[in-house]
Structure 1
Amino acid sequence: MDSIFGYIDDAYLFCKVVEHGSVLKTANLLGVPQSTVSRRISSLEERLGLRLLEKKGRELTATEVGRLVFEQLSSGIEQVEIGLANITEQMEQVAGTVRLSVPHSFYHSFVAPVVESYLKRYPNVHIDLGLNHDQIKPQTNRELLITFDISDMEDLIARPLFTARHGFFASSEYLATRPKITDISQLPQLDWLAIDNNQTLAIYRNERLEESIHVKPRLVVNDIQALLDAVERGLGVASLPLRHVQTNSNLIHLLPEHYRSDRQAFLVYKDRKYQPKAVKSLIDAILSSANKMDAAVNPTSKKRSTNES
């Protein structure tokens, strides 16, 4: 059986010429050269061994057999057009389900306000939000990931969100039971609280690595607000994002000239060209929120480089 490859375009152009009664009008409407339309229809006539069009006055009309061919083909071509239009409409609608994977520690501090505002604005979108520390690489164009680690994601698009800078904090209640902290060497002896099980902290000063210390957290909790609450209740010392404690007068910033190595957060997704509108609008909302957050921390900053999370 002969393949229909090569017939589809010719058949489409033939049907359009019959509908519009003119090769010139069809060419103008489709944005193709008139010579191309004529050549493709001639090619179709040669393949079928049939004369499909004839001139009647100024109009180009289907021959008797051409009318039969048009009746056979036009409904199928119309269905293809409807199907493609439906796909385009679905892609352009802000609707459907989007999967967003986020570290648990990001939820209250960054993600929750964005997601809640987005859902109110777009009532036809459903968000499947996963809060965890596992790297769930986007597999489809409806999946997004916020992460600090993009080491194995060279095949994906990674958009910078913000740079997180951490300082060391404790409550006055906790520090009242300890000698005054004046040097890095005293930090390992403190009761540490942490958001993960990382036990090595690289400590910087003036953008240079000064020392790496080893700590053993007494409490590990993967929620930044829960960690902040534990520090406020005097359970120990923690490395906390500066933005979270800027307005909290109950916490004391230890060795404020020192800080942990900055961490760059990224928004990761699979594709840019074929994104559904719901995904694109959520990406825009997340990036916009990150920009506003940085502007609030450092109004003079024109780009996200060393702003605090």
Structure 2
Amino acid sequence: MDSIFGYIDDVYLFCKVVEEGSVLAAANRLGLPQSTVSRRISSLEQKLGLRLLEKHGRELAPTEVGKMAFDQLSSGVEQIEIGLNNVTEKTDLVAGRVRLAVPHSFYHSFIAPIVEQYLKTYPNVHIDLALNHDQSKPKTDRELLITFDTSDMEDLIARPLFTAKHGFFASASYLDEHAPIETMEQLEQADWLTIDDARRIQVVNDGRVVGDIELKPRLVVNDIQALVDAVERGLGVASLPLKHVSGNINLVHVVPEYYRSDRQAFLVYKGRQYQPKAVKALIEAILATARHMDTAVNPNQINKEPK
């Protein structure tokens, strides 16, 4: 081996695989694709001309040589981690650019105060705030996404934020003009107004799913306040977050024994060992606000970051 350059990253990945017990767990921990970790370990083995890992049933374990390599190298990797942490912790300046993608409906009700306070606290940080329903996965360490849908995001960190509980609401004028809404069938036949493109939603009664209703919305608007305004003006029925409409005397909670199934919001990002301080600070600010929201929060999950 003429130089350590080209080996350090691969050695780090090897040590993490041994610590986590599998390539998948290490990849999830580091926010990397599993294929990348596997390829880099294979590359290290080829460079060294040694077999470092082997399968024991479904488990992945170090070979005898791999155990020796881990014992020799892991303490050095740990010292590098500690040193880098000390350097970053002693660096007071939080600066750079962060991109945050958020559903438009979250802005006023949740994210606006966080962003405004964050920018005041960290004047050297710039935020690119995208208000839309785009499900684009974060591609860099400086991108964050708030979403209800984490499908196809297994390679990313998804932190639970809060559970949005929804009821069904209409205005008194709409109910006076149309047939009463007292059953699921009548609810399904109402003039629907929605905030997204969902065409079928689950209905819950006393904590149990009792069926689905198919929606044929007359209006789709991706802003929660605009949706509430449309319901107040008597245009139809909508599924609205209970917290958002609490105390609104212009809305009638129809079939109150029924609810839309809870919607879990997540904060999604690439899980890197050494996150930029600007990103880390924004993540902490978002999670701190979510912990104190009046909506239902799962305290056993909110602080946990998947491995």
Give the TM-score, by structure 1 length.
0.67
The aligned runs of 1:181-192 (5 Å cut-off) are 181-192=181-192
Q: Deviations over 1:177-212 (max 9, x none)?
A: 123221111112211100112221211101211121
Q: Any stretches of 5+ residues in structure 1 without a counterpart? A: 7-83
Say which SS state the counterpart of residue 250 (structure 1) adopts.
Answer: coil
Contact 2:165 2:242 in 1 (8 A): yes
Q: Which residue of 2 aligns with 1:237?
A: 237
Q: Which residue of 2 aligns with 1:205?
A: 205
The aligned runs of 1:206-221 (5 Å cut-off) are 206-221=206-221
Distance 1:127 1:297 in 2: 27
- 4+ aligned runs moved over 4 Å, structure 1: 2-6, 87-92
Distance 1:229 1:92 in 2: 45
The aligned runs of 1:116-127 (5 Å cut-off) are 116-127=116-127
Structure 2 residue 290 is the aligned partner of structure 1 residue 303: no
Measure how far apart 1:94 and its partner are: 1.3
Contact 2:99 2:144 in 1 (8 A): yes
Distance 2:91 2:257 in 1: 50
Distance 2:269 2:92 in 1: 18
Contact 1:93 1:278 in 2 (8 A): no
Distance 1:252 1:201 in 2: 20
Give the TM-score, by structure 2 length.
0.67
Contact 1:167 1:241 in 2 (8 A): yes
Q: Which residue of 2 aligns with 1:268?
A: 268
Distance 2:95 2:4 in 1: 35
Q: Any stretches of 5+ residues in structure 2 without a counterpart? A: 6-83, 302-307
Say which SS state the counterpart of residue 292 (structure 2) adopts.
Answer: helix
Give the root-mean-square deviation of aligned CA atoms: 2.4
Distance 1:211 1:254 in 2: 17
The residue type paired with residue 216 of structure 1 is K
Measure how far apart 1:124 and its partner are: 0.8
After superposition, the Cα gap between the structure-2 partners of 1:302 and 1:129, relative to the gap in structure 1 and judged at 3 Å, is: closer
Q: Which residue of 2 aligns with 1:140?
A: 140
Measure how far apart 1:155 and its partner are: 1.2
Q: Which residue of 2 aligns with 1:17?
A: none
Contact 1:194 1:219 in 2 (8 A): yes
Q: Percent identity between the aligned chains?
A: 64
Measure how far apart 1:213 and its partner are: 1.4
Measure how far apart 1:175 and its partner are: 1.1
Distance 1:191 1:243 in 2: 23
The aligned runs of 1:285-304 (5 Å cut-off) are 285-293=285-293, 296-297=294-295, 303=299
The aligned runs of 1:26-105 (5 Å cut-off) are 88=88, 93-105=93-105
Question: Which structure is larger by alpha-carbon Rg, 1 or 2?
Answer: 1
Contact 2:166 2:240 in 1 (8 A): yes
Q: Which residue of 2 aligns with 1:169?
A: 169
Contact 1:163 1:265 in 2 (8 A): yes
Distance 2:260 2:181 in 1: 17
Question: Larger deviation: 266-275 or 282-291?
Answer: 266-275
Q: Which residue of 1 aligns with 2:196?
A: 196
After superposition, the Cα gap between the structure-2 partners of 1:126 and 1:186, relative to the gap in structure 1 and judged at 3 Å, is: same
Measure how far apart 1:141 and its partner are: 1.1
The residue type paired with residue 137 of structure 1 is K
The residue type paired with residue 277 of structure 2 is K
Say which SS state the counterpart of residue 262 (structure 1) adopts.
Answer: strand
Distance 2:143 2:209 in 1: 36
After superposition, the Cα gap between the structure-2 partners of 1:151 and 1:5, relative to the gap in structure 1 and judged at 3 Å, is: closer
